[in-house]
């Protein structure tokens, strides 16, 4: 006998919901599901599902919030015969069933080709209840978008494409940034979990290249070192992005861009270091005895000459169109097909790989190398909207300045990395 199914569906961050359920000690039931469709149109779907050891035939009519549903249990033999007729994909997913505020939630974590996709469904007794529903505060932050009326996210459509529908959210937010916001080298684009990771990467690169271009041009006009430091920071963040996504790029692309960035960073670091040394010595000069002041003045003139040469290198490099070369090398990036997956999927892969690599560096304890690797890791965390290891980074910086080592700090960093 058929009945009306009243259901809302949301794109979500599945791992975040599971973490919340465990943290709040909310009980849930897990089932492994396999399903396919012999018919999947807007008007009607014919679905077969294996739910653990049960085999179910399901017919749904209609679309959106309210649909007519007929469900009957069938034999294993009928299921296998129907599967042999299937010409589309077979969906595999893990389903978490749990109750919150009196509502039954069904969270689907997709596997195989659809890995990275999570959808949560909530069933209702009537339309009034559905229309007035808001996800509970406990999981509100994990909800991304209401997809109840979006056919491309229906299981029938997913079985035909076997691809996660990707978005281009950061492309829209990049166009909304004004000149003042672009000055600061930040990863402040809005990127949804279901944006294609390659779009997110390219738009973040474009945002940092714009910041770099604005600041380097202002530096060449005003010779203000705050602009050079901003341009330097934009390059360091570009390098972090590059290192984090190394496994998703073809080697020729990666090596060429890394070489270009390192070449520019060396020139910038030289000028910034000399300017910092000049300012520090100038500040302390007044506290020296008169005899020492003359000697210090000679040293200051020597540093000023070196700083002028370093600045000239920047000017000459800019004349050689290094910005254009850098932009062209990023435009010519060749990605491996894996990065065409959702941002949330790539995020898990990148953070896992980077944290593993950083743990190896902890045991070597080359402080300078560890400092830069932790800097790049923090930038990657920032890019993926995760809280960076700020306190650990500051403590490591102090150790390097004071020339000390600390097993306690290394343990603290290792514990923080275990979360990834």
Q: Would you state the structure tokens that stand for residue 357, as one six-digit string?
A: 């690599």
Q: Is residue 68 part of a domain?
A: yes
Q: Is residue 226 part of a domain?
A: no
Q: What is the CATH number of the domain that holds 149?
A: 2.40.320.10
Q: Is residue 22 part of a domain?
A: yes
pTM tops 0.85: no
Q: Is residue 343 part of a domain?
A: no
Q: Which of 221, 200, 230, 227 is nearest to 335 (CA)?
A: 200
Q: What average pLDDT is seen over the chain? A: 86
314 SS3 class? helix
Of 101-105, 234-238, 310-314, 351-355, the poorest mean pLDDT is in: 310-314
Name which residue leads in pLDDT, 243 or 408: 243
Q: Is residue 368 part of a domain?
A: no
Q: How wide is the angle at C-alpha 65 spanned by C-alphas 64 and 68, nearest 5°?
A: 85
Instruction: Report the Cα–Cα distance between both ends of the chain, in Å, rounded.
Output: 48
- C-alpha 32/C-alpha 53 separation (Å) is 10
Q: pLDDT by residue (tens digit) across 211-233?
A: 998 998 888 888 888 999 999 99
- C-alpha 288/C-alpha 286 separation (Å) is 6
Residue 128, pLDDT score: 85
Residue 362, pLDDT score: 80
What domain range includes position 129?
3-161
pLDDT band at 289, cuts 50/70/90?
low
Q: Is residue 269 part of a domain?
A: no
Q: Is residue 118 part of a domain?
A: yes
Quick check: 86 and 37 in contact, CB under 8 A?
yes
Q: What domain count does the chain have? A: 1
385 SS3 class? coil
Quick check: 178 and 210 in contact, CB under 8 A?
no
- C-alpha 295/C-alpha 298 separation (Å) is 5
Q: Is residue 389 part of a domain?
A: no
Buried-exposed string 34-53: b where 16+ CB fall within 10 A, e elsewhere:
bbbbeebeeeebbbbbbeee
Residue 2, pLDDT score: 62
């Amino acid at each position: 006998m058929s009945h009306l199914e009243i259901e809302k569906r949301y794109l979500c961050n599945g791992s975040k919901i599971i973490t919340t359920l465990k943290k709040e000690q909310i009980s849930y039931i897990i089932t492994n599901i396999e399903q396919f469709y012999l018919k999947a149109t807007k008007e009607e779907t014919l679905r077969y599902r294996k739910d653990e050891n049960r085999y179910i035939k399901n017919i749904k009519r209609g679309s959106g919030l309210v649909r007519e549903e007929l469900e009957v249990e069938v034999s294993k033999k009928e299921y296998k015969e129907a599967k042999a007729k299937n010409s589309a994909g077979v969906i595999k997913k893990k389903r978490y069933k749990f109750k919150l505020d009196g509502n039954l939630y069904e969270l689907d974590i997709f596997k195989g080709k659809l890995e990275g996709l999570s959808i949560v469904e909530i069933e209702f007794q009537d339309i009034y209840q559905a229309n007035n529903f808001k996800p509970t505060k406990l999981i509100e932050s994990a909800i991304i978008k209401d997809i109840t009326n979006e056919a491309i996210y229906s299981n029938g459509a997913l079985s035909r494409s076997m691809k996660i529908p990707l978005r281009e959210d950061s492309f829209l937010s990049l166009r909304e940034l004004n000149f003042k916001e672009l000055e600061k080298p930040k990863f402040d684009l809005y990127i949804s979990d279901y944006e294609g990771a390659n779009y997110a990467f390219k738009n973040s690169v474009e945002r940092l290249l714009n910041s770099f271009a604005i600041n380097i041009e202002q530096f060449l006009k005003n010779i203000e070192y705050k602009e050079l430091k901003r341009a330097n920071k934009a390059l360091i963040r570009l390098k972090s992005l590059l290192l984090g996504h190394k496994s998703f790029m073809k080697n020729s692309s990666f090596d060429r861009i890394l070489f270009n960035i390192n070449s520019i960073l060396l020139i910038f670091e030289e000028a910034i270091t000399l300017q910092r040394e000049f300012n520090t010595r100038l500040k302390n000069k007044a506290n020296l005895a008169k005899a020492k002041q003359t000697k210090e003045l000679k040293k200051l003139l020597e540093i000023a000459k070196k700083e002028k040469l370093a600045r000239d290198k920047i000017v000459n490099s800019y004349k050689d169109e290094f910005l254009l070369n850098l932009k062209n090398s990023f435009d010519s990036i060749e990605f491996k097909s894996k990065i065409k997956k959702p941002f949330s999927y790539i995020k898990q892969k990148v953070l896992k790989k980077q944290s593993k690599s950083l743990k190896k560096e902890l045991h070597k304890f080359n402080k300078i190398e560890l400092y830069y690797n932790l800097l790049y890791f923090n930038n990657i965390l920032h890019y993926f909207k995760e809280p960076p290891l700020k306190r650990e980074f500051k403590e490591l910086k102090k150790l390097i300045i004071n020339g000390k080592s600390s097993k306690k700090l290394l343990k603290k960093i290792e514990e923080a990395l275990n979360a990834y």
